Chains A and B, each alone.
Chain A
């Protein structure tokens, strides 16, 4: 099932939370909605889930416009909210039965679906226990399971791994990958670039309520200033004259100094690294440590917005 967000705009009073957001999510793929806190991701998800009425634009589910309220199109959607929205005192099974009943499931059909999602999220053994006795990761998995009972064709996951240990995070990733493999459409909002890099086939970068990039992962990474990043640590940071000369060198696309750490973006790591070291050493700046890595979404985001994903 395809989801189309078309020219979405949402204001709260005088503040514009979402100014212009358009993208398409295709079946069998995971679309990552990437942006820092306050970028407008959750407001966008609110409109995608039929919780918020857009001031402009529309959301179409399989070509059918989505509205708020008792819209039957909502049956095609599953929402995993950012918060762990569970009945903490009731057993996991009762939680699942409750959320299934909200979508009209009852009797054997409900029992079968409860069993299926317990299996999928590996919570079968803890079905009788209340979520308040679960670990953070198990609670997150149950939070996801509650959105799967009615077999939604589109799943909206709003920061589903916040506060989760690495092991549980992997379990969640496996669940998401299994759902995508089963042909579901997944929209995954996060500000963790590693998650997008692992899970997403397509990435929509949002900042200040606008789409800055809508491309495949490779396409977005290409927006980074260079394919490689050199990170050098100096006891005495290079002066501005040395940095200016460095910036002017061929093959170097960006030079940035933060404290004693110098970051240099370069297309060709092999030829650039020795030249940078020699240039600065000749001016009396001795490097204490050198590391290099491939450019990532963080670099691409920085290039697109001028700030990092984790900026407040």
Chain B
């Protein structure tokens, strides 16, 4: 038994020492995930310390030039999420088409005169054009929301302020009185409302409140509160989870390819000449690869903690559990590759493709919640999804140990399945 343990230790140690001495493997497995995770993390918000919002470049085409349109344009210019640029329509179209601007808002001639009147009628509304770059369509609802807010505010202010809009109210009164579609009761109520507005507009200035003419405003205030581990969501935490999963899987695949090479080069033949069982030979391979995966994960997260403020805000035991389960998953994936693979080149190419699909579906590149609903359901059957979710849960989500149990159980299940396939398919007599 002790000699078997000596052999097992020697086999595992050999894998570790060989890996640590191979600078290329170290760079690919450790440095690359750090660099890519840093890049992705910074793209998606960094560590949360930078609260500035990137501004959407929008052209403003004011063909009307009325007081109302000028006021709205001025309001839009004060928006922190917009970077407004006044342009002619032709120039605006050209720059949106070229992708230099995300969108352009075109206020038509007569907008200032027609918009307040359109408030009380179903037809004759001025048509504002929103020209947008189809590759940036996500900005459309943002611009629509801000535009609606400022137009309603300015139009209703114009309506309720003294002076300029009495004619609009008079016309609205005449429309209501002549309407054939309104019943007597509704007509009477609207006439009362509009006459009250008219009286309000014609009151002497001294009797009007100081905040008159503000028009309609949003009937609420909105406070944004991020619910995660602390005051800031750390985008690096997810990036480091995703990239660690990707590159450790690559390492696992590489370990499988190395086993294929060992068989080609007679090394495996030599190992099998020793009085060692299949369990020792394959088990030591899994143990070695698992340890290497844990070494990589430890180094990557150490760097993430020191330089990118990633914290294990949840259960440390849960984090270790997820890490060990994923390391075993990566090791058994490699073993399965070695068992079913034939030539080194074909196996490597196919495995890299498979890993990329797995990490993509597993949410290693972008979080799963941005996937369509059907793809989110599919990703539940992808083992890498549980690795990323588990690491996310124990880091930036700050969840308790119980939240790690499901990812751990699912990953161990997949690892057991891969190990069984490997043992079943492994051709012991092929060298």
Q: Which residues of A contact B (CB under 8 A)?
A: 46, 49-53, 68-75, 77-79, 81-87, 89-90, 94, 97-99, 101-106, 146
Contact = CB atoms under 8 A, between A and B. Distances in A.
A42 to B, nearest CB: 9
Contact of B7 (A53, A68, A77, A101): A101
Interface in B1-20: 2-4, 6-7, 9-11, 13-14, 17-18
Given A81-B266, A103-B7, 4 more contacts: A51-B269, A89-B22, A90-B18, A94-B17
Given A68-B428, A87-B14, A74 B278 contact: no
Complex A-B, nearest 5 residue pairs according to Cβ-Cβ distance, in ascending order: A104-B3, A83-B266, A101-B10, A70-B277, A79-B273
Nearest to A105: B6
B55 interface: no
- Which among B9, B13, B275 has the highest number of chain A CB atoms within 10 Å? B275
B6 A52 contact: no
A94 to B, nearest CB: 7
A102 B13 CA distance: 12
A101 B275 contact: no
Nearest to A83: B266
B409 interface: no
Most buried by B among A50, A52, A83, A146: A83
A125 B332 CA distance: 40
A51 B272 contact: yes
A77 B274 CA distance: 9
Contacts of B428: 68
Contact of B275 (A75, A82, A84): A75
A66 to B, nearest CB: 11
B263 to A, nearest CB: 10
Contacts of A89: 18, 21-22
A271 to B, nearest CB: 52
A85 B275 contact: no
Interface residues of B toward A: which range? 20 to 34
Given A87-B14, A98-B10, A106-B6, A81 B270 contact: yes
A81 B275 CA distance: 16
Contact of B270 (A53, A71, A85, A97): A85
A75 B273 CA distance: 9
Given A98-B14, A101-B7, A104-B6, A70 B266 contact: no
A50 B428 CA distance: 12
Contact of A82 (B21, B266, B278): B266
Interface string B264-291: 0111011111111110100000000000
Contact of B277 (A69, A86, A90): A69
A270 B10 CA distance: 64
A102 B266 contact: no
B18 A102 contact: no
A239 to B, nearest CB: 51
Nearest to A10: B429
Nearest to A130: B21
Contacts of B267: 83, 85-86
B362 to A, nearest CB: 33
Given A82-B266, A89-B22, A90-B17, A102 B272 contact: no
A77 B277 contact: no
Contacts of B265: 83, 85
A69 B428 CA distance: 10
A209 to B, nearest CB: 16
Interface string B109-133: 0000000000000000000000000
B3 A53 contact: no
A105 to B, nearest CB: 7
A259 B45 CA distance: 82
Contact of A77 (B3, B273, B276, B431): B273
B270 A74 contact: no
Nearest to A73: B275
Given A87-B18, A104-B3, A69 B278 contact: yes
8 contacts: A70-B4, A77-B273, A81-B270, A85-B265, A85-B266, A85-B267, A102-B11, A104-B7
B21 A90 contact: yes
Which of B14, B273, B429 has its CB near the most chain A CB atoms (within 10 A)?
B273
B285 to A, nearest CB: 14
